[in-house]
Structures are given as structure tokens and as C-alpha cells.
Amino acid sequence: MRALSLAVRMLAREWRSGELGVLLLALTIAVASLTGVGFLVSRIGAAVDLQATEVLAADVRLGSPQPISQASLDEAARRGVLAARSTRLLSVVFHDDQSQLTNIHAVSAGYPLRGHVLIGSEPFAKGAAAAGIPPRGEVWPDSRLLAATGARIGSSLAIGAATFRVGQVLISLPDQGGTFAELAPSLLMNLEDLPTTQLVQPGSRVSYSVLFAGDRARVDEFKSWLLLNKKPAERLRDIRDASPQIKSATERAGRFLNLASLVSVLLCAIAVAMSAHRYVHRRLDVVALMKTLGATSAFTLSVSLLQLIAIAFVAAVAGSGVGFLAQEWLLRALKGLINTQLPPANLLPLGLGFIAAIALLVGFALPSLLQLARVPTIRVLRRDVGPPPTLVLLAFGPAVAVIALLIYWVVRDVKLFLEFTLGLAAFIALVAGAGWLLVHLAGRLRGSVGVAWRYGVANLSRRRAASVLQIVAFGTGIMVLLMLGIVRNHVQDSWRHSLPEDLPNYFFVNIPPDERAPFIEFLQARGAQTSRVLPMIRGRLTAINDRPVEGAQSAGDGENFAAREQNLTWTADLGADNSIVAGRWWTREDFGKPLVSLATEFQESLHVRVGDRLTFDIGGESVAATVASIRKVKWDSFQPNFFIEFAPGVIDNTAGTYMTSAYFRPAGANALAQLARRFPSVSIFDIDDLLARVRSVVDKAVFAVQSVFVFTVFAGLTVLLAAVQSSRDERRFESAMLRTLGASRKVVLQGVLAEFTVLGLLSGLLASVGASIAGYFVATQVLGLPYGFDSSVWALGLIGGAVLVVFSGWLATRSVVNQPPLATLRANG
Amino acid sequence: MDIAAGESVAVVGPSGAGKSTLLALLAGLDAPTSGKIWLAGTDLSALDEDGRARLRAQRVGFVFQAFHLVPALTALENVMLPLELAGRADARSGALAALERVGLAKRKGHYPRQLSGGEQQRIALARAFVTAPAVLFADEPTGNLDTSTGERVGALLFELNAHSQTTLVLVTHERDLASRCQRTLQMEAGRLL
């Protein structure tokens, strides 16, 4: 209790004297960086789960070709689980003399339980979330249906035996399904109106669903009940079955961001160690005095430990606060990347922030603090007596252990841990080596400049270890920011510019075979440049070399490829954007033989080779074919291309549709509506729009990563502050000496500024070189894009580095320079 | 060498003679390589460092040449420190009374850097006497002060000492100060003459 009260009192005073400021700042930034990313990752992870539920429009969905009894709805109500019905059927919708086969979605109040129905006041608008479902007597047809029938808001549509008023334009449904499978346009209506249409007759093809959602625990219990009580024909779908690949991508991205935040943590840890060392050095006298006055070692140690815990607590609270705000701000800036309502953050990262703060202090400050307890009492009389030196293992062991644990905690995989740790060590060694070389070279230049510069540069060389540390700390932060900038610019500009102007900008899918010729004629008549037209048939890979794919060895996406329905095609000609990398393309003599050609992506993920036998299920029929060739496909030609292409004469008679792409600049906004009206079953995809979306996603992802590395720059700043602080007494004395020898305050200040300018320039130089090399590697090796020299990277690195370091260095040292020399010399005399 | 209870002894000699080392050994701040020291009836060599610290907390006061106030604590808190370390509940009132005796009660809320050298040493005197120690060790208590301030602080030291009947071991260069002690020990090159 005595120790606690003394610890708190001394801490409060010492905090005011600024001694602990850097320590606390470094710790706060480390915690902010960790928790900020923690909040971000957990919220995005939860959002991805939520997004998956939106695909179902529910948490759990029960589907059946037969009407679903009321029993499950009653049970859901009893358990506090929300429920809604959705019934779908295909029917022809009439407006005046126009008719269109339409997917009719009849839903009950409460639909959708997850996600939103988007509606607009005119076709092809962006749309806004609807507040409910269509009122009775009203329907919401989608843009394609309106274009096909010529109806507008207010028009009457006849469905079966009933007539409805068009109330809104349906823009999208959450459970519409994103694939090309939806052939017909959609219409949303109130389930209570369905009987009046008299469409549901014995034998009609109707698909019935009941949607359930609610508190996760209740839904889980209810799901167990459903599994026991549902009829055999009823199919249960859960979010946990939905989009596993999105989940694994999110997990990987989360791990990457966490590792990125660890770079900041590592730098902050260095600052923590430096300022703890300084703090301990400053406290040696006080502890010796306390021991003289009768304090035991245990007491002084507990005072130090309590102070440590108090600092960790303050840093954890402040850091988590900053982390939370940063994450909140970032998510606002990223709006649109995540197309869903973000769930609130959970509080787990707060606990982790506190643990991380304690861990960093234990690893990086405790070894120094333990020294305090060992200070000999005699120091009160003889200031040259310090504590005995610590063992190297004791000084660095905890630090290495803490960093290793943090890294392992993030990656949770031994192989990845070793890779990252070794990579990090190599990177640090490389950057530190480069930093050392730069400081060494700068030192050799000092003869040729004025007195202030000479003084400044001489300081850099004299405190070489500290200088290298600061250059590495700052250089790393700036380097990563610059490199990400290079990568983003390349993805945005180089790629776009490397593509020809008249590349197809529209994909057209689901062209019925009998409309193929008129459709192409229609496009060409309106000035479109059409590409090849390929048949599109749905099928699923069932066996490789007669072994069912479920049992086949496959890694990564392989299982998804196998599990998914694929789009298959057949063609005689190898596209100009395809090149054969193995086997050979078929000739006229091969037509009719069961041969198949695979794209490299498909072949690699399934580990199949030329000569292997693949079996497909196409429309319930089993089709086997031998792999004749492997193709490398240039996907960014935007021509119709398929992973799996059959030789002509194998699957030609299977029912399917056609697809093509075209370069098309429609004259007037109406041209697309005309197209949709003339060919209602054709789905239109605007590539420009898709590309813009891809670009915006890349942009935002890079921005997110850059934001994480802004913490790294701040961490670099704390290293600079800690370094300046640890040299403060020395600087104060030097400054006083120089001024006593006749240097004006201005000259001393110029010297200090010169030192930081060189430090900043060297950091910037290191950052620019590193970023350019890394950027070159990423652009040419990873993205496969030509790398263009970017002078702005160098300008930004050098100027940015210099400005940042000079400004912070000046802030940190100005009080030293301003101090009257006499006071300093007296204090040191 | 024996120093009786209540006696005041000055240790004088040129710089480097070993005066401070002797003081450190007598106070148990350092351990001798050979020989034995009894402080207030306790064999110091039989105690470990923490044992010696506890003994100091109960029986010993210190005054230093460089004042050695804790910069992070106020004048009052500095005086309270030895009482708190000894586990005394009356730390605050005791410290206030001690400050009153050295005439600095009004400056109790000041930090050491806000006080003059003479004031700092008076605070240090209050801190030294606040536990009513059996023995007071003073190492050049006026060495960092100008002549007139030094004289005033010296006078205060002897006044407090007389009042509390404390055994005083004083290391000093000042002849005047040494002459106020009952006995003077002369040191040279590490030996008592």
C-alpha cells in the first residue's frame, strides 16, 4: 500500500516533468496500432459473416419444392426467432400487348431478414433500401422487366388472374443470386396477393422458402430443432455453409494487417526500451537515496513495478481509444468497400491492448527497471558507482521472447512464424546495414561544409548507433508508404494504359440459341464491335481419372473448383488471347473425340495433366473427356474465355445459351433499355463499371494498408524522440559549451537543424531506394506489369523525410538549445 | 574507534583522504573488506543489504553535500519519505512539524527546483531529523552553499542536534563547523591519525 501510494505520487510528478512522455507515447502508439487493426479485422470479419447471411437474406433458410408447414414458423416464434416466407415461381407478366417470362418473388412481411431490397423511381437507377415489402395490390418489377414490357411506375401489370399497379422499380434483392443463372427478370410482390393470381396450381413449379434470423445462440438451437423436424425434401442452408472462400480471404487479409501493425509495435518497442533506459538512468540517484533512507530492494522494486503497471494501464486505455477512433475513421473512409452494415466492434481488442502494453513493458523496460533495484546505496556519496551490468541474456532475452510471442500470436502457424521472423530479421539487417553505410558516407562529407553543418553531421557520426536506429525507424515507415503508393499507381494507371482503347466494354450472357444471330445483328447495326460468340453450358466436375473429386487430392481453390458448377464451352478455334503451354490444340480430325482443354488456373489448382480423364455431370448426363491441352489465357483481353473448353462434337447437343463481349458505345441512354426490351433474357454486364469497382476496391484496400503503416511513421517518430531524449543531457552540455565558446544561439540551432536535415534526408533516401526496389519487384513479378521510374517517389521520400524529421527533431531539442549556458555548466560542474 | 551515544564527532582531512568512505562504512552504505562495525548496538556485517536498510530506517539520518532531495516530490513529501519508509502513520503531521522547526512550513508545496540551495539543505535537515534518529551522518552539509548560508545551515544543524540528543558524525572541510563538535578525527590517505 505504501509502495502503491509512493509509486502513484512519484509517477504523477515525473509525468509532469516529461520524463515518461516518450515511453507512454511509444506504448500508446503500439497499442493503438494493434487494437486499431484488431477492431478493424474483427468488424470486417463479422461483416463478411453478415454479408453471407444477406445472400440468404436470413441466418438460416429452409427450402422445399412443396409448401412448408406452419409448424416451423410457430416454433420459431415460440423461440424468439424471426421468420418470413418467400415463394418463387416463373410466370408470364403482361403489360398491354407485351409479355415477359418473369421470376416472381412473393414474400411475407419482414422479408428480407438480412440485407435490403433496393428500389428506385426509375429503371437502372442506383436505388435505396425499401422500408418494407410491396403493399397489397402493388408489385415492384425490375428494370429489365419494365424495359421488356414498356411499363412504368403507375402502369398496370397482369399476372395470372389478377392485375397490379407498378409501385416502385426493383433494383436488387439480397437473395437474388449473383451468378449468370438468373435468366428471367424479377418482380417482387406481397405473398398475400399470390392466391388472387391463381398461378399456384397442382403441378406448378414453385419453390417455397422460409427464412429465419435472430440472436445467434437462439438460431443455433432452433437450427438443431429444424434438422430433427424438417421433412426429407426440405433443404436447410446456413451462413456457415456460404462463401468459405471469402472468409479465408478475409482471414488472410486480417493476418496481413496484423503483421503490418507489428512493424509499428516493434519500432515502438525500441522507443520503449530507449526511454526506459533513460528513465532508469535518471532514477538511479533517487533509488539509491531511498535505500539510504531505509527502503529495501523489494520495496523499490515494487514501486517500479507498480509504476510500470500504471503506465501500461494508461497506455492501454489511451491506445485503445486512439485505435478505436482510427478504425472508425478508416471504416468511414472505406465505405463502399464493404457493402454492408458493419456490426459494432467487440471489446476483445481492448484486453489485447492491455496485454500487449504489459508485454512490451516486461520485454523492453523491465530488464532496465530490475537494474534499479540493484543500484548500490553508496551511489548517494559516489555518483560514479552504478548498478552491476546485466547479463546479455537477461537484457535482450525478454525482448526477443515478447516479440516472438506477439508474432506467433498473430500468425499462429510455425512455418509462417519462421518465415516472417527470418524475413523480418533479414530486412532489419539489410536496412540497418544500409543505414550504417549512409551515416558513414555522410560523416566523410562534413569537411566541405560550414561550421553549423559540420557540427550537425559530426553529431550524427558520433552517435552512430542512435543515428542508424533513427534512420531505420523512419526509413521503414516512409518506405512502406511509398511502396504501397507505387503499387497502387501501377494497378491504377499502368494497367489501364497498357490496355487498348477499343477493348470490349460489355459482356452479354444468356443469349438464347435462336436469338444469337438477331442479337449480333442488332449490336452490329448500332456500331458495336463484337467478339467471338461461344456457347455456355453448366456442368460440374465429378471425377478425375475415374476417382470422384470429393476424394481427390486438391489444394487451395481446387475444392471450390470441384464443388462449384462450372461454365463449359465447346469451340473449334483457339482464341488469339490463348496460348497452348502443354499438349496440343485439336484439329479437324479430332472433332467428335472426347477431348477437353483446360486453362492453367484450373489445371494448377486440381493438379491434373495432359492425358488425364475428367468426368463431368452436364444436365444429369455424365460426360468423360481426356485433357488434350493446357492453355494460358490472357483474361484482360475481355473476350469470352472459359476454364474448360471441349472439342466440337462432344457436348454440342446439350441445351445451353451463348455469350459474347463487344466494344459498344451506346448512342443515348435508351440504347441499353432498347436492347433489354428486344432481348429480355440477355444479361448485360458493363465492364467499365466492373473495372471502376475493381479499381475502387484496390484503391481502398491500399488505403487501408497505408493507414496501418501511418502508425509505423508515428512509431518512427517515437524512436526519434527517445533518441533525442537519451542524448538530451549531452546535447544540453554541448550547446552550453558552444555558446560559452562564442557560438550564437542561431549557430547552435543551425547545427541541430543540420543534423536532423541530414538524418531526414538519409531516411528518405533509404525509403526511396527500398520502395523503388520493392515496387519494381511487386510490379514486374507479382502484378506482371511494366515498371516505370517514378521521380515523385524520390521527391516525396527525400522532402517528406527531411521535413518530418527536422520538424520533430526541432520540437524535441529546442528547449535544450534555449537553455542559458551558465545554468547548464553549473549543473554539470 | 568508538563513538558514544549523543557524542558529536567531526571527520576532517584533505580531499581523497577517505572521509566519505568512512562515513559510508559507518552508515552501512558499503560493506568493509575486513573488520567489523557496530551501529547502535547491531553488528552491520551480520546483516544483508535489506537488513542494513531497515536498521537505517529506524536509527539513522543523513545530510548530504548535494542535498539529494527527490526532484519529483514536494518539500513536504520529501520530509515524509523516511517516515513512510519506516511505516509510520503520522508521516504527514510529523513532516509538517519538522518543516516548522526548520522554518520552511510555508514552502511545503514547493518542488526542490523552486527552492534555493540553502532552503533545499534545510529541507534535507528536516528530513534527517524527522525520524528522531539515534545517529545522524552529515557529509559536507555546507559544501555546496555560500559562506553566510553555510553558517546558517550549520547553526541549524547543531541546534537540532542539541535539541534531539542525536549522535552526530560530520564530515567537513569547514574548520568552524568541525570546532563545534565535541571531538575531531583527522584522516589522511585512508587512515585515522
Q: What is the pLDDT of residue A412?
A: 79
The separation between CA A399 and the C-alpha centre of its own chain, rounded to angstroms, equals 30
Do B82 and A293 count as a contact with CB atoms less than 8 A apart?
yes
User: Confidence class of residue A180 from pLDDT cuts 50, 70 and 90?
Assistant: very low
User: How far B62 CA lies from chain A's nearest CA (Å)?
Assistant: 8
User: How far A8 CA lies from chain B's nearest CA (Å)?
Assistant: 11
Of residues A280 and B79, which shows the higher confidence score? B79
Which chain A residues have a beta carbon less than 8 Å from that of B87? 2
Q: Does residue A669 register a pLDDT over 60?
A: no
Do B62 and A293 count as a contact with CB atoms less than 8 A apart?
yes
Give the closest of A286, A293, A381 to B20, CB-based: A381
Q: Does residue A161 register a pLDDT over 90?
A: no
The one-character DSSP state at A593 is S
User: How far A810 CA lies from chain B's nearest CA (Å)?
Assistant: 26
The shares of helix, strand and coil residues in chain B, as percent rounded to the nearest 5, are 45, 15, 40
Do A10 and B64 count as a contact with CB atoms less than 8 A apart?
no
What are the DSSP calls for A562-584, one per residue? HHS-EEEEE-SS--TTEEEEEE-
Cell numbers placing A670 = 435508351
Do A381 and B60 count as a contact with CB atoms less than 8 A apart?
no
Is residue A128 a contact partner of residue A118, using CB atoms and an 8 Å limit?
yes
Give the closest of B30, B57, B84 to A378, CB-based: B30
The one-character DSSP state at A142 is B
Give the closest of A2, A9, A294 to B53, CB-based: A294
Nearest CA in chain A to B127: A293
Is residue A805 a contact partner of residue A473, using CB atoms and an 8 Å limit?
no
Taking the model in full, what pTM does it have? Answer: 0.68
Which chain A residues have a beta carbon less than 8 Å from that of B54? 294, 296
User: How far B152 CA lies from chain A's nearest CA (Å)?
Assistant: 23
Of residues A448 and A669, which shows the higher confidence score? A448
Mind listing the pLDDT tens digit for each residue in A804-829?
A: 888 888 887 877 777 666 666 655 54
Nearest CA in chain A to B24: A378
Q: In what order do the strands lie in the sheet with B135-139?
A: B60-63, B135-139, B167-171, B8-12, B183-188, B191-192
What are the DSSP calls for A114-128, one per residue? SS--EEESSTT---E
Cell numbers placing A207 = 419453390
d(CA A526, CA A671): 9
d(CA A541, CA A622): 10
Q: What is the CA radius of gyration of chain A?
A: 34
Q: Does residue A687 register a pLDDT over 90?
A: no
Nearest CA in chain A to B91: A2
At residue A114's C-alpha, the angle toward residues A109 and A115, to 5°, is 100
How far from B171 is each of A451, B4, B158, B189, CA to CA, in Å?
48, 17, 14, 15
Do B20 and A14 count as a contact with CB atoms less than 8 A apart?
no
Do A13 and B62 count as a contact with CB atoms less than 8 A apart?
no
- Across A93-122, average pLDDT: 86
Which chain B residues have a beta carbon less than 8 Å from that of A10? 70, 72-73
User: Confidence class of residue A496 from pLDDT cuts 50, 70 and 90?
Assistant: low
Of residues A667 and B71, which shows the higher confidence score? B71
- Across A61-83, average pLDDT: 89
Compute the count of residue pairs across chains A and B with CB atoms less than 8 Å apart.
82
d(CA A430, CA A418): 18
d(CA A197, CA A89): 12
Nearest CA in chain B to A826: B144
Is residue B67 a contact partner of residue B118, using CB atoms and an 8 Å limit?
no
CA dihedral A318, A322, A323, A324 (to 10 degrees): 100
Q: What is the pLDDT of residue A54?
A: 63
Tell me which of A49-53, A351-355, A523-527, A705-709 is least confident: A49-53
Q: What is the pLDDT of residue A579?
A: 92
Tally: H helices and E strands in chain A: 24, 24
- Across A594-615, average pLDDT: 89
Q: How many CA atoms lie within 13 A of A455 on its CB side?
A: 18
User: How far B2 CA lies from chain A's nearest CA (Å)?
Assistant: 22
Nearest CA in chain A to B68: A289
Do B68 and A14 count as a contact with CB atoms less than 8 A apart?
no
Continuous H helices in A293-413: 297-333, 348-364, 366-373, 392-411
- Across B52-80, average pLDDT: 87
Mind listing the pLDDT tens digit for each residue in B125-175?
A: 999 989 889 999 999 888 888 888 888 888 888 888 888 889 999 998 888
- Across B38-53, average pLDDT: 88
Mind listing the pLDDT tens digit for each residue in A760-778?
A: 888 899 889 888 888 888 7
- Cross-strand partners of A617: A540, A622
Q: Does residue A377 register a pLDDT over 80?
A: yes
How far from A330 is each of A43, A345, A442, CA to CA, in Å?
12, 13, 39
Give the closest of B29, B73, B85 to A295, CB-based: B85
Q: Does residue A659 register a pLDDT over 60?
A: yes
Of residues A419 and A454, which shows the higher confidence score? A419
Tell me which of A6-10, A746-750, B182-186 is least confident: A6-10
Q: What is the pLDDT of residue A204?
A: 61
User: How far B82 CA lies from chain A's nearest CA (Å)?
Assistant: 6
Tell me the percentage of chain A whose pLDDT exceeds 90. Answer: 16
Do B72 and A299 count as a contact with CB atoms less than 8 A apart?
no
What is the average pLDDT value for chain B, to the nearest integer?
88
Nearest CA in chain B to A296: B50
Which chain A residues have a beta carbon less than 8 Å from that of B20? 381-382
Name the nearest CA neighbour of A76 among A234, A224, A241, A235.
A224
Residues sharing a CB contact under 8 Å with residue A692, sequence separation 6 or more, in sequence order: none
User: Confidence class of residue A411 from pLDDT cuts 50, 70 and 90?
Assistant: confident
Name the nearest CA neighbour of B127 among B84, B170, B169.
B84
Q: Does residue A599 register a pLDDT over 70?
A: yes
Give the closest of A17, A292, A296 to B50, CB-based: A296
Which chain A residues have a beta carbon less than 8 Å from that of B169? none
- Across A656-677, average pLDDT: 75
Do A10 and B73 count as a contact with CB atoms less than 8 A apart?
yes
Give the closest of A17, A297, A382 to B49, CB-based: A297
Q: What is the pLDDT of residue A178?
A: 40
Nearest CA in chain B to A381: B20
User: How far A291 CA lies from chain B's nearest CA (Å)?
Assistant: 6
User: Confidence class of residue B94 from pLDDT cuts 50, 70 and 90?
Assistant: very high
Give the closest of A10, A297, A378 to B50, CB-based: A297
Q: What is the pLDDT of residue A492?
A: 63
Q: How many CA atoms lie within 13 A of A447 on its CB side?
A: 2
Q: What is the pLDDT of residue A332?
A: 79
Q: Does residue B97 register a pLDDT over 90?
A: yes
- Cross-strand partners of A566: A539
Is residue A558 a contact partner of residue A605, using CB atoms and an 8 Å limit?
yes
- Across A184-191, average pLDDT: 90
Q: What is the pLDDT of residue A92?
A: 77
Amino acid of residue A684: I
Residues sharing a CB contact under 8 Å with residue A118, sequence separation 6 or more, in sequence order: A126, A127, A128, A129, A130, A170, A171, A172
Q: How many CA atoms lie within 13 A of A620 on its CB side?
A: 1
Which chain A residues have a beta carbon less than 8 Å from that of B24? 378, 381
Tell me which of A117-121, A282-286, A330-334, A693-697 is least confident: A693-697
- Across A216-225, average pLDDT: 88
Give the closest of A9, A291, A382 to B53, CB-based: A291
Do B86 and A285 count as a contact with CB atoms less than 8 A apart?
no
Q: Does residue A308 register a pLDDT over 60?
A: yes
- Kindly give the pairing relationship between strand B183-188 and strand B8-12: parallel
Give the closest of B24, B60, B81 to A381, CB-based: B24
Interface with B, mutate which of A282, A381, A383, A828 (most B CBs under 10 A): A381
H/E/C letters for each residue in A662-708? EECCCCCCHHHHHHHHHCCCCEEEEHHHHHHHHHHHHHHHHHHHHHH
- Across A422-447, average pLDDT: 84
Q: Does residue A559 register a pLDDT over 50?
A: no
- Cross-strand partners of A616: A541, A623
Q: How many CA atoms lie within 13 A of A604 on its CB side?
A: 8
3-state secondary structure of A290: helix
Handedness of CA A620, A626, A632, A638 (dihedral sign): negative
Do A2 and B87 count as a contact with CB atoms less than 8 A apart?
yes
User: How far A737 CA lies from chain B's nearest CA (Å)?
Assistant: 23
- Across A307-318, average pLDDT: 88
d(CA A333, CA A337): 9
Do B77 and A286 count as a contact with CB atoms less than 8 A apart?
no
Q: Does residue B60 register a pLDDT over 70?
A: yes
Of residues A622 and A485, which shows the higher confidence score? A622
What is the average pLDDT value for chain A, to the nearest integer?
81
Q: What is the pLDDT of residue A147?
A: 87
Q: Does residue A563 register a pLDDT over 60?
A: no
Which chain B residues have a beta carbon less than 8 Å from that of A290? 70, 81, 85
Q: What is the pLDDT of residue A580?
A: 93
Amino acid of residue B49: E
- Across A500-518, average pLDDT: 82
Tell me which of A244-258, A386-400, A615-629, B5-19 is least confident: A244-258
Q: What is the pLDDT of residue A491?
A: 64
Which chain A residues have a beta carbon less than 8 Å from that of B58? 294
Do B73 and A9 count as a contact with CB atoms less than 8 A apart?
yes
With an 8 Å Cβ cutoff, the interface of chain A facing chain B consists of: 2, 5-6, 9-10, 13-14, 17, 285-286, 289-299, 376-378, 380-382
Nearest CA in chain B to A19: B72
Q: Does residue A646 register a pLDDT over 90?
A: yes
User: How far A36 CA lies from chain B's nearest CA (Å)?
Assistant: 34
- Cross-strand partners of A558: none
Mind listing the pLDDT tens digit for each residue in A452-488?
A: 777 788 888 888 888 888 888 888 888 888 887 777 7
- Across A135-163, average pLDDT: 90
User: How far B103 CA lies from chain A's nearest CA (Å)?
Assistant: 23
Report ipTM for this prediction: 0.86
- Across A738-750, average pLDDT: 78
Q: What is the pLDDT of residue A181?
A: 35
